[in-house]
Amino acid sequence: MEYQRDRNVLHKKYACMIVMKARELFEADKSLVDITRGDDEEITVCGDIHGQYYDLLNIFKLNGDPSKENPYVFNGDFIDRGSFSVEVIMTLLSWKVCYPEHFFMSRGNHETAQLNKLYGFYGEVLHKYDSKVYELFNDLFKHLPLSHCINKKVFVTHGGLFAKDGVKLEDIRKTQRVKEPGDEGIMVDCLWSDPSDTNGRNPSKRGISCMFGPDVTERFLDGNGLSKYLE
């Protein structure tokens, strides 16, 4: 029993060290992070993992472990719903610490206290660690970038585009993100908006941000010199 208790304490200590080191790395980033790759170099962008640890391992099995030659962007919603959110987020943060210039993570709408208290992460962290570690995670989430731009051509964000036209990449880059999201604005749209097949903007079924059509996307890409095609 004493051995198990000491082992748990040590495990918690190392977990906190990784979280704090990753937070330090994210803190140095802008809200939009620019990624540069050579024309013949690839980068893998992954969507929601949602606590599915074995799916995450399968991604690495099929596509290779992260490295300088095999960079990744994980685009938010690492936690909640699945049963292994702690294992997922700790694995991702460990890779970030190992390869800070080749492993990237964006904030998703579940990397917020309002959602992750409802959808499983809060209870899981309390079961595996304690409330202090939960607060440490939420502090880290506030420092995650909102978006990435690959080679000044490909825009990557968890949610989507914006409730008004005219938003520039520099506006995202300068957005104050170290907080819980409010009800509207660039940060909220980056976390919550959704694409639609219908032109224009419409209210979101989520009750926050908006749904945006192909014409909105085209204007945003043209206004920021971004690519309309993935080559």
Residues annotated catalytic, as ranges = 110
In whole angstroms, what is the distance from residue 83 CA to residue 173 CA?
34
For 5-18, b/e burial (b = at least 16 CB within 10 A) is eeeeeeeeeebeeb
Q: Decide: 201 and 163 in contact? Cβ < 8 Å.
A: yes
Residue 92 in tokens: 């991702």
The kind and range of the H/E element at 8 are helix 2-27
Q: Count the Cβ atoms, other than its own, within 10 Å of residue 154.
A: 18
